Chains A and B, each alone.
Chain A
Amino acid sequence: MSQHNPETAGVSAYSQSKHSRRFDLFKTVFTLPVIIYAILLVLIPLVYIFFLSFLKSDNYGGYLFEFNLENYGEFFDSTYLSIFLKSAGIGLVTTFICLLISYPFAIFLRDLPEKRRNLIMKLVMVPFLTNSLIRTYGLITLLRKNGVINSTLIGAGVISSPLALMYNNVGIITGMVYTLLPFMLMPVCSAVVKVDQNLLDAAEDLGAGKFAKLFKIYLPLTIQGAFNGSLMVFIPAIGYFFIADILGGGKAMIIGNLIKNQFLTARNWPLGAALSIILLLFTFILVRIYRKIGGSLDELGGG
């Protein structure tokens, strides 16, 4: 009756071959919720904005059912394109800084005893338990003109007038790095910790210096972890409008602000939808590259 092939053992214990045609309550309980969830809360919303992106706005928050590609044409309008490019630039700089901080951190972490290492990895997650907006607010207290950093530096006589640490791109990038760094630290650390010590010893015996080890051993062996972290940093870094809003002082715009404005201020939903679809396509291309280099979707987002 039951097979003992390990591949199918799990399935055979659950499948009910005797009356497979009849209504199967067990199967329904375990499959219906995910079907309803995936269709109602994922598929329909995305298909709907795809559909919206081809409509025309009536300029009053509604839309006219005239199919056209104008919204996508507008993307190539210089103002939107320049915001996309600038936002991608901010995202890239943020990602690069996070990589730069995470690699030494991960390599040094290797030397620590396992217990301490695990504790630190857990502590990295703790800032997430306070809302990211609250943390951004904490950052303002530090960065603003009369904030903690400036008053400390002036008090110590290092500078005479306050540095402009926010209301500019420096502020946005600081905010993004600070908010998103744990997403880079986690995958990079877990990849670096797994690198085989024998390889490093062998390289050292053959005369490899620190940088040779970094570029010839660590980087090639941890490329998946680095790409995983880069995805989890770059994608939010082009969408987190509240950080650009608060630390960029309203002048600076990233893609997130642009889309938000189309939905809430300009009330041109079709254009907002088209911009979102472009962002989505861009994301899917990045994920595709990640999978091409052997990355697993289950490992994204700390899952």
Chain B
Amino acid sequence: MSFKKNHRLRKAYITIVMLLLFLPIFILIAFSFNESKLNVVFTGFTFDWYARLFANADLIDAFKNTILIAVLSTGISTVIGVLSAVGLKKFQFRGHGLIDKLIYIPIVIPEIVLGIALLSVFTLAKLELGFWTVLLAHISFSVPFVITSVRSTLYSLPKHVESAAADLGASRWQIFWHITLPLIWPGIVSGALLAFTLSMDDVVISYFAAGPGTNTLPLYIYANIKTGISPDVNALTSIMLVITVITLTTSAYFQSRKVAARSIS
């Protein structure tokens, strides 16, 4: 077999696909250090845009809203998602089957349909479109992802641990807090991470739920993309990317150490 040569070609293919996936992001970062205001030719190296970024009040405001919405919607969706996943497994109630079907809908329906449906009810309920409606909309599409993520760990729990705790006199609250919650923690973390990523990535649903007043980063870019975006947006994007990558790698590092520590003891 010409195994070695073949192997190198295969690795090259994987590398190329990965590089292409990251290429536009690398280009964005590169142009954040460019002297020229136009993202066309690289004229010289500068840190100017990073300094100017903080003078752009609209952009900073949009950035704050984006982060705040992502953090709040992740927190709220994670709490609702964990309670829901456990509740749907443990309890039977009227409408259980219907609810169980409804929670998959936001995962499969086109985002635009959820977006206009939410816009329609927000208008019907006379809610003023803005920060809070965007937050509600993000909760609406995040909860199902947390539920499915928690559910997958919930169904692989070792049997009997919960009933053993009950036999030893633990209350249901104690069982949930001391047994179930620690055991489903990996599912909760990956669900929360997914919710955060979805919130940061969303354009379509925010677009309908935001109304004219509120600015989030994607809406700011959408409004300015046709007239041209100045490199301070590139600078902000680069900073965000570095922060998220650092957060992710450190959390992955600590999680792997925790798992290692647990398997030793």
Contact = CB atoms under 8 A, between A and B. Distances in A.
Interface of A: 2-4, 6, 9-16, 26-27, 29-31, 33-35, 37-39, 41-46, 48-49, 52, 101, 104-105, 108-109, 111-112, 120, 122-135, 137-142, 146-148, 151, 178, 181-182, 231, 235-236, 238-242, 246, 255-256, 259-260, 263, 269, 272-273, 276, 279-280, 283-284, 287, 297-298, 300-303
Interface string B19-53: 01111110110010000000111000000000000
B24 A276 contact: no
A280 B24 contact: no
Contacts of B201: 128-132
Contacts of B245: 126, 129
B109 interface: yes
Nearest to A287: B108
A302 B193 CA distance: 12
A149 B41 CA distance: 12
A2 B245 CA distance: 47
B74 interface: no
Nearest to B218: A133
Interface residues of B, number: 100
Q: Which of A131, A151, A235, A260 is most buried by chain B, counting CB atoms within 10 A of its CB?
A: A131
Contacts of A122: 252
A42 B21 contact: no
B107 A45 contact: no
Contact of A276 (B23, B113, B229): B113
Given A2-B167, A14-B90, A49 B204 contact: no
A273 B24 contact: no
Contact of B14 (A42, A105, A239, A280): A105
Contact of B217 (A131, A182, A242): A131
Contacts of A46: 105, 117
B84 A37 contact: yes
16 contacts: A9-B160, A11-B90, A31-B91, A37-B103, A42-B103, A122-B252, A124-B18, A131-B200, A133-B218, A133-B222, A134-B217, A135-B24, A239-B113, A239-B204, A272-B116, A283-B109
Given A125-B197, A146-B40, 20 more contacts: A13-B165, A30-B84, A33-B80, A38-B102, A41-B143, A48-B124, A49-B116, A108-B11, A109-B14, A129-B200, A133-B225, A138-B27, A239-B204, A259-B116, A276-B116, A279-B112, A283-B110, A297-B108, A301-B145, A303-B144
A104 B13 contact: yes
Contacts of B203: 131-133, 240, 242
Contacts of A238: 110
A284 to B, nearest CB: 8
A141 to B, nearest CB: 5
B159 interface: yes
B129 to A, nearest CB: 12
A137 B79 CA distance: 34
**Closest 10 pairs (CB-CB, A-B):** A138-B24, A30-B87, A303-B148, A34-B84, A45-B117, A108-B10, A13-B162, A41-B140, A239-B110, A38-B102
Interface of B: 7, 10-11, 13-14, 17-18, 20-25, 27-28, 31, 39-41, 66, 79-80, 83-84, 86-91, 93, 95, 98-99, 102-114, 116-121, 124, 136, 139-140, 143-145, 147-149, 151-152, 157, 159-160, 162-163, 165-167, 172-173, 175, 194, 197, 200-204, 207-208, 217-218, 221-222, 225-226, 229, 233, 237, 240-241, 244-245, 248, 252
A34 B218 contact: no
Contacts of A246: 225-226
Contacts of A15: 90-91
A137 B159 CA distance: 50
B17 A105 contact: yes
A222 B218 CA distance: 36
A242 B219 CA distance: 11
A34 B240 contact: no
Given A2-B167, A14-B162, A44 B121 contact: yes
Contacts of B20: 178
Contacts of B25: 127, 130, 135, 138
Contacts of A148: 27
